[in-house]
Structure 1
Amino acid sequence: MTTREEVARLVDHTLLKPEANAADVQALADEAGRLGTFAICISPNLLTGVRLPDGVSLATVCGFPSGKHTSATKAAEAAESVAAGADEVDMVIDIGALKAGEVDAVQADIRAVREAIPGALLKVIIESAALTDDEIVTACRAAEAAGADFVKTSTGFHPAGGASVEAVRLMRATVGDRLGVKASGGIRDYDTAVAMIEAGASRLGLSGTAAVLDGAPA
Structure 2
Amino acid sequence: MDTNKLDERSLAKYFDHTLLFAYSSEEDFKEFVNDAIKMEVKMLAINSCQVKRCKELLGDHKGINVGAAIGFPLGQTTIEVKAFETKKAIEDGSDEIDYVINVGKLKDKDYDYIKKEMEVIVDICRKHNVTSKVIFENCYLEKDEIVKMSQIAKEVKPDFIKTSTGFGTGGATLEDVKLMLDTVDGEVKVKAAGGIRDWPTCKAMIELGVERIGTRSSAAILEGFKQERGL
TM-score range, shorter chain: over 0.9
| Structure 2 match to 1:68 | 76
Partner of 2:52, secondary structure, is coil
**Any gaps of 5 or more consecutive residues in structure 1?**
none
State the alpha-carbon separation in 1 of the partners of residues 174 and 33 from structure 2. Answer: 28
> Which residue of 155, 167, 170 corresponds with 1:157?
167
- Residues 85-105 of structure 1 show CA distances to partners (whole Å, capped at 9, x for unaligned) of 000000000111112211111
| Structure 1 match to 2:110 | 102
| Structure 2 match to 1:112 | 120
Amino acid at match of 2:183: T
Q: CA deviation at 1:170?
A: 1.1
1:177 aligns with 2:215: no
1:78 aligns with 2:82: no
Alpha-carbon RMSD across the aligned residues, in angstroms, is: 1.3
State the alpha-carbon separation in 2 of the partners of residues 87 and 54 from structure 1. Answer: 11
Amino acid at match of 2:159: D
| Structure 1 match to 2:44 | 40
| Structure 2 match to 1:144 | 154
Q: CA deviation at 1:205?
A: 0.3
| Structure 1 match to 2:95 | 87
170-179 vs 82-91, which deviates more? 170-179
Q: CA deviation at 1:3?
A: 3.5
**Any gaps of 5 or more consecutive residues in structure 2?**
none
| Structure 2 match to 1:16 | 20
1:194 aligns with 2:203: yes
User: Which runs of 4 or more aligned residues in structure 1 lie more than 4 Å from their structure 2 counterparts after TM superposition?
Assistant: none
State the alpha-carbon separation in 1 of the partners of residues 157 and 71 from structure 2. Answer: 17
State the alpha-carbon separation in 1 of the partners of residues 159 and 184 from structure 2. Answer: 10
Q: CA deviation at 1:25?
A: 2.0
State the alpha-carbon separation in 1 of the partners of residues 40 and 100 from structure 2. Answer: 27
Which residues of 2 match residues 47-66 of structure 1 at below 5 A?
47-50=51-54, 51-52=57-58, 53-66=61-74
- Residues 129-169 of structure 1 show CA distances to partners (whole Å, capped at 9, x for unaligned) of 2212211111112223233110000000112x000111111
> Is 1:22–1:46's contact at 8 Å kept on the other side of the alignment?
no
Aligned residues: 217
After TM superposition, the score normalised by the length of structure 2 is: 0.90
Amino acid at match of 1:65: P
51-60 vs 101-110, which deviates more? 51-60
> Which residue of 136, 159, 168 corresponds with 1:126?
136
State the alpha-carbon separation in 1 of the partners of residues 112 and 41 from structure 2. Answer: 36
Q: CA deviation at 1:114?
A: 1.8
- Residues 169-217 of structure 1 show CA distances to partners (whole Å, capped at 9, x for unaligned) of 1111111222110000000110000101111210000111111211111
State the alpha-carbon separation in 1 of the partners of residues 214 and 147 from structure 2. Answer: 21
Q: CA deviation at 1:49?
A: 2.6
1:167 aligns with 2:171: no
